[in-house]
Amino acid sequence: MESSRGPPRVKNKAPSAIQISAEQLLREAVDRQEPGLQAPTQRFADLEELHEFQGRKRKEFEDYVRRNRINMNNWMRYAQWELEQKEYKRARSIFERALDVDATSVTLWIRYIEAEMKTRNIQHARNLLDRAVTILPRVDKLWYKYAYMEEMLGNIPGTRQVFERWMSWEPDEAAWSSYIKLEKRYGEFQRAREIFQRFTMVHPEPRNWIKWARFEEEYGTSDLVREVFGSAVEALGDDFMDERLFIAYARYEAKLKEYERARAIYKYALDRLARSKSVSLHKAYTTFEKQFGDREGVEDVILSKRRVQYEEQVKENPKNYDAWFDYARLEETGGDVDRIRDVYERAIAQIPPTQEKRHWRRYIYLWIFYAIWEEMESKDTERARQIYQECLKLIPHKKFTFAKIWLLKAQFEIRQQNLSAARKTLGQAIGMCPKDKLFKGYVELELKLFEFTRCRTLYEKHIEWNPANCQAWIKFSELERGLDDLERTRAIFELAIDQPVLDMPELLWKAYIDFEEEEGEYERTRQLYERLLDKTDHVKVWISYAHFEINVPDEEEEEAEDEEEKPVSEVAKARARKVFERALKSMRDKDLKDEVKTHISYFHNTLDKIADTLQRVSLLNAWLSFERTHGSEEDIEKVQKQMPRKTKRRRKLDDDSYEEYIDYVFPADDVQTAKLSNLLAMSQAWKQAGGGLMGNGADGGE
């Protein structure tokens, strides 16, 4: 019994006195190896026994095919068994019976044909293949087998007849390729040429013409190759023309060093093919000219072609600014200054039809690119300045503006060492159409110049214009702090948090708290946390408050700054633990008030309760993490006892359906809920009793 449960346990692990070699172990393993399972061989004593066995097997197979005639696997297994018994006539009979059931089974035909070929019944196999391709002329596998057999027998005329019968059905391209390869193998190039001619009539795709041209290149003459390409261009026409055909034609001429012919072919194709259909052709032509032509010719041809295309596009839709971008970029590559300016001038003249900002977003970049090109490439700074000025005059600043244009204009003036013009531009922008980006860009400019008084003025105007922008308040305070004006920094923060509307108040409070903490004003920081808790009792505030209390050094630690870092004191741990306890009590009282309050909408209040519960869970997890780091086992156990348990609940939705959700049940809530239930029950009983006494008093009076 013990041995069946596994290998025996070795009590004595000391080495044996007699050591066994690895060779001995392997030899013993080989000797003990069990022989593999082999199929039993059936032996027959005489012919009578063999015939009895065969009759029994035939009866089984006949029963199979009788029960399910349409299952070809049963027929093929039956025929295969007869073939193994050397009963070829019987196997042939079975195959014929199966074909009577389903003459369209390709697998059955293949098995039948292969059986005849294995037994060297060539004439039978040929007859079968002839029957098969007559019944199933669209099955390529049968034709391939037929042609292969005839070729292996050395009957090339017969093979050619098979292919001709096959080609009369106009099969796919692979079949024609096989026929051509047959003629190439036996050196019948004229026959292959005729087949190619028929092939391209049935499948007039450009790749097939290219195959024919490569054949002629290998086995024919240059005139024949040109004739093939010419026939292809004529046959395909303008509608079915393909760039691959022209690329192959031009490369062939270049190979023969007929560069003018190749260049004419490229130009002919570029004139007739659309741009979308001639991307590779353009690349090939460019490569050709780089190898065998001059640069000017390439650029002129390509630029003129693309110029026509872009002109068509902008004529069709003058407000297509993307086409203008491409057109201008094309002319920039050409380097013709007059042409570039002409394109830009025509482009910026296409003013958007409406004064909606979404229509101007792409248009405005035409002015930007124009001005940058004049400044950087053309070196005409005065013209660039005029472009910026005209663009600013055109934009309807009362409805919308683009801060990018104002800032680019100011940066342009700074590059020209005209600081007063840059300041004038930004001041005009702030006066006409103030935006946060404009104030930010102007302040960054003055900061680089160390003009802190101007930065103060700009920040004051910024927060006056948009007092809800918390980033502006924070940057303003960072500026004053960098100038070591702590009182001014503190005053800015106080003004900021007193604003009635702020876009991101959490960032502002965090910046204020971090400032006081970094300055070592721990009591002020503590007061800030208390003020923030009066506004919001979010769990993140409580957790941050507790972490702050942990990190507040004691007086002794503040005096001994040079000494090594000491562990967290018990006083700091007690302060942090007190914050956690306050937070938990606050959240627990809030949840209790929500339960006894009358709700107007059950669904929304359920969601609010879930959110409050999740905050409470987060707080307990943070407290538990704190105790695991700094507390004792008792402290950890105390927090763990307050951890909630998960329960599944259901709530009713607006469409009167129900959904399940996970709720948390706190142990403290169970006690308070029980007390509240008892209180409500006692109140109900008192009310009933009090009503009875009043009734008795009235009766006694009567």
pLDDT band, very low/low/confident/very high, at 608 (cuts 50, 70, 90): low
3-state helix/strand/coil string of 330-341? HHHHHCCHHHHH
Q: How far apart are CA 490 and CA 515, in angstroms?
A: 9
- DSSP-assigned letters across all residues of 330-376: HHHHHT-HHHHHHHHHHHHT---SS--HHHHTTHHHHHHHHHHHHHH
Which pLDDT score, from 0 to 100, does residue 694 have?
40
Q: Is 582 exposed, middle or buried (0-12, 13-18, 19+ CB in 10 A)?
A: middle
> What mean pLDDT do residues 271-279 have?
75
Judged by average pLDDT, the poorest of 416-425, 455-464, 634-643 is: 634-643
Q: Is 459 exposed, middle or buried (0-12, 13-18, 19+ CB in 10 A)?
A: buried
What does residue 233 show for φ and ψ, rounded to 5 degrees? -60, -40
Structure tokens at 700: 């006694």
> What mean pLDDT do residues 351-355 have?
83
What does residue 12 show for φ and ψ, rounded to 5 degrees? -95, 105
Q: Residue 524, Cβ neighbours under 10 Å: how many?
A: 16
Structure tokens at 643: 């951890």
pLDDT band, very low/low/confident/very high, at 100 (cuts 50, 70, 90): confident
Structure tokens at 617: 């869970």
What does residue 612 show for φ and ψ, rounded to 5 degrees? -65, -40
Per-residue pLDDT reduced to its tens digit, 658-683: 777 666 666 665 555 555 556 656 66
pLDDT at position 563 over 50: no
Which pLDDT score, from 0 to 100, does residue 574 have?
74
Q: How far apart are CA 64 and CA 59, in angstroms?
A: 9
Q: How far apart are CA 332 and CA 335, in angstroms?
A: 5
Per DSSP, 484 falls in state T
Cα Rg, the chain, nearest whole Å:
47
DSSP bridge pairs for 646: 664
Per DSSP, 258 falls in state -
- Only one residue has tokens 């971008």, namely 325
pLDDT band, very low/low/confident/very high, at 612 (cuts 50, 70, 90): low
pLDDT band, very low/low/confident/very high, at 2 (cuts 50, 70, 90): very low
pLDDT, mean over the chain: 78
Q: Which residues of 652-673 are buried (b: 16+ CB within 10 A; e: fewer)?
A: eeeeeeeeeeebbebeebeeee
pLDDT band, very low/low/confident/very high, at 562 (cuts 50, 70, 90): very low
Q: How far apart are CA 87 and CA 391, in angstroms?
A: 98
